Chains A and B, each alone.
Chain A
Amino acid sequence: MSRHDTSDLIFRRVLAAFPITVLIIVAGIFFELVYSSLPSLHKFGIGFLYHSIWNPVEENFGALPFIYGTCVTSLVALLLAIPIGVGAAIYLVEYAPVKVSRVISTLVDLLAAIPSVIYGLWGIFVLVPFMRNVVQPFLGKYFGFLPLFQGPNYGIGMLAASVMLAIIIVPFIISVSREVIAAVPFVYKESAYALGATRWEALSNIVLSYGKAGILGAVILALGRAIGEVMAVTMIIGNDPKIALSLFSPGYTLASVIANEFAEADFPMYLSALIEIALVLFLVAIIVNILARLLIWSVTGAQSAEAVK
């Protein structure tokens, strides 16, 4: 086929339009967020990021408690979800009988499709009582010397929200990790076995090392979901804009405060501050993504990071 084939050229141009659309949308969102938060940006300046007062009555706004709540809950959720998610993926691909693997994989995909408001309702009626009656008394009794597990036990709070987020993101980690692990070429594994490697050695040296970039990619995807999650978190986090070290205490996230207060924000400055919260959320998501990508590069070298994209 000729290089100057017109149909090919048209096809290429048309395809090029699609990624440009994505760029335009991202730029459009960014522009709108900055433009609408200008009054708030002017009034509070950089202090918006480190002030911890959120008072709609006096129109005094600071985002720090929300940034803190978002980061803490997402981080704890990741700590809980990574071992479960990656472990489950390894089991499903490497150990489970095909029938079991198929049934569980279908269930996992089903979990990923549950709307988060349903998770939230389940959280209020099942998870919160469980946290209050079982998990938190246990943590308080045996790990109460850590400031993380002190203070009054309501059930509702940052720990409940983190566990909820972990449950929501586990299916994403399992799904993507499963594909990544299944994609490791058989030849590699067989070569390891031929050299006398045990199953564990083959797994840790060959499979995980080959799939490292892909699994990290899965984790980034999950983290993005955790940072932006609204409904399920709002329903069980306690919605209190204070910074507390204890995971038992109520907290607040960036996404939650927007969902809670946007509809009734009837003063221009209030609205503008909420939109600036959205801008902060947007930037936090971008920064976390960049950091995660840097992490991948440092772990795997730039070349395999290309594969993640």
Chain B
Amino acid sequence: MKKLLALVAALGFATSAWAGQIQLTGAGSTFIYPAITKWFEAYDSIDPNVQFNYQAIGSGAGIKEITDKIVDFGGTDGPMTEGQMAAAPGKIYHIPLVMGAEAIAYNIPGVGPGLKFTPDVLAGIWLGEITNWNDPKITAQNPGVNLPNMPIIVAHRSDGSGTTFIFTHYLSSVSPEWSSKVGFSTSVSWPVGLGGKGNQGVSGILTQNPGSIGYVELAYAIQNKIPYGVVENSSGNFVEPTVEATSEAASGVPIPADFRASIVNSSNPKAYPICGFSWMLIYKNMAGEGAKGKALVDFAKWAVTDGQKISAQLDYAPLPSDLIAKIMKTLDKISY
């Protein structure tokens, strides 16, 4: 279906030249791709004159293409660094489009969903310091759960991804040891574990290895009914990863004016701690791009408001309303 839509978009591109339509091209994040495709489809009834073409080639590549002005907008799950911002030919805005979370999924024989994890335990497992499921650090938080004497098999993403960026960013923010030994990026040097390609690869490792644990996109875990645990947030509450708890992470907390914020380990007591934004990258100055600037801003405004209901159907967490107001003000600053 996605392929088909992409094909339709491509055909649209081919025919737009003579129809006098506005052609907007984008590239980047694969995480946002299903949402953005669905938006394009729905937006056709709002403004049929705008044609889209989005290539899901990865956040890193998306940043490169918007910097080189090959595309009209980029999509990324990790914010651009100061160096990357400086290398761009103009000021780039980060517009949050949706939010996503990572679920801690596991496969322990005899143990159901809802196992409790503290930040220390998660960091310990991925650092390779906690190696057995009956470790006192795990059992202490889970009285009544019969945790077996079984080695822990750690799984992670092998492909560079925003999912890994958010997860390692979370570990870096809760564990000084992780921060100094490993750090965060779309790919890191993992102390332990097996690498699976994509959510599919990680869940493949999980289903086939008793005693395994891994992180997968929440939407993927929900849609594939993968059992996952609850994680202790910065206020000491154990929170289940839900779409609502993800949205809470960006609600009522200070967010910098440029939105290049990490919302892992949010201070909101209701928030699930392992989550992040997916951003659209747009140049502040779109003058000289013809009708494209206005079309792009209109689309972005629609995506962060009405579009949120559509992306929520795909289990993307909607942006909280207090944040949407701020985003709309930023979008108004774009000149075209």
Other-chain residue from A239, A241, A250 in contact with B197 (beta carbon distance below 8 A):
A239
Residue of B nearest to A238 (CB): B194
A191 at the interface (CB under 8 A from B): no
Complex alpha-carbon distance, A146 and B196, angstroms: 27
Residue of B nearest to A240 (CB): B195
Q: Find chain B residues with CB under 8 A from A306 CB.
A: none
**In the complex the two chains form, is A240's CB within 8 Å of B193's CB?**
yes
Which residues of A, 117-137, contact B by the 8 Å Cβ criterion? 124-125, 128-129, 132
Residue of A nearest to B188 (CB): A57
B158 at the interface (CB under 8 A from A): yes
Query: How near does chain A come to B255, taking the closest CB pair, in angstroms?
Result: 23
Query: How near does chain B come to A308, taking the closest CB pair, in angstroms?
Result: 36
Query: How near does chain B come to A280, taking the closest CB pair, in angstroms?
Result: 18
Q: Find chain B residues with CB under 8 A from A259 CB.
A: 159
Query: How near does chain A come to B128, taking the closest CB pair, in angstroms?
Result: 12
B59 at the interface (CB under 8 A from A): yes
**In the complex the two chains form, is A260's CB within 8 Å of B197's CB?**
yes
Query: How near does chain B come to A240, taking the closest CB pair, in angstroms?
Result: 6
B209 at the interface (CB under 8 A from A): yes
Q: Which of B200-208, B260-268, B288-296 contacts A (4 or more CB under 8 A)?
A: B200-208
**In the complex the two chains form, is A234's CB within 8 Å of B208's CB?**
no
Q: Which of A20-28, A152-160, A206-214, A221-229 contacts B (4 or more CB under 8 A)?
A: A152-160
With A56-B185, A56-B187, A132-B208 as contacts: A261 and B195 at CB distance below 8 Å: no
Residue of B nearest to A155 (CB): B208
Other-chain residue from A152, A256, A264 in contact with B160 (beta carbon distance below 8 A):
A264
Other-chain residue from B59, B158, B182, B205 in contact with A266 (beta carbon distance below 8 A):
B59
Complex alpha-carbon distance, A264 and B205, angstroms: 22
With A238-B194, A240-B194 as contacts: A260 and B60 at CB distance below 8 Å: no
Other-chain residue from B63, B160, B205 in contact with A260 (beta carbon distance below 8 A):
B160
**In the complex the two chains form, is A260's CB within 8 Å of B183's CB?**
no
Q: Find chain B residues with CB under 8 A from A54 CB.
A: 189
Complex alpha-carbon distance, A54 and B185, angstroms: 13
With A57-B183, A156-B194 as contacts: A129 and B60 at CB distance below 8 Å: no
Query: How near does chain A come to B189, taking the closest CB pair, in angstroms?
Result: 4
Query: How near does chain B come to A242, taking the closest CB pair, in angstroms?
Result: 10
B237 at the interface (CB under 8 A from A): no
**In the complex the two chains form, is B161's CB within 8 Å of A264's CB?**
yes
**In the complex the two chains form, is A235's CB within 8 Å of B201's CB?**
yes
**In the complex the two chains form, is B194's CB within 8 Å of A264's CB?**
no
**In the complex the two chains form, is B187's CB within 8 Å of A264's CB?**
yes
Complex alpha-carbon distance, A124 and B57, angstroms: 24
Complex alpha-carbon distance, A261 and B157, angstroms: 11
B153 at the interface (CB under 8 A from A): yes
**In the complex the two chains form, is A57's CB within 8 Å of B194's CB?**
no
**In the complex the two chains form, is B182's CB within 8 Å of A250's CB?**
no
With A56-B188, A57-B185 as contacts: A155 and B158 at CB distance below 8 Å: no
Q: Could you list which residues of chain B lie within 8 angstroms of chain A, going by C-beta atoms?
A: 57-61, 63-64, 84, 151, 153, 158-161, 182-190, 193-197, 200-201, 204-205, 208-209
14 pairs of residues in contact across A and B, judged by CB atoms under 8 Å: A124-B200, A154-B209, A156-B208, A234-B197, A235-B201, A240-B195, A260-B187, A260-B197, A261-B187, A262-B160, A263-B57, A264-B59, A266-B59, A266-B61
Could you list 12 further interchain pairs (A-B, Cβ under 8 angstroms) beyond the known A234-B158, A235-B201, A264-B186? A56-B185, A58-B189, A124-B208, A154-B205, A156-B196, A238-B195, A239-B195, A260-B158, A260-B160, A263-B60, A264-B60, A264-B160
Q: Could you list which residues of chain A lie within 8 angstroms of chain B, going by C-beta atoms?
A: 53-58, 124-125, 128-129, 132, 152, 154-156, 234-235, 238-241, 250, 252, 256, 259-266
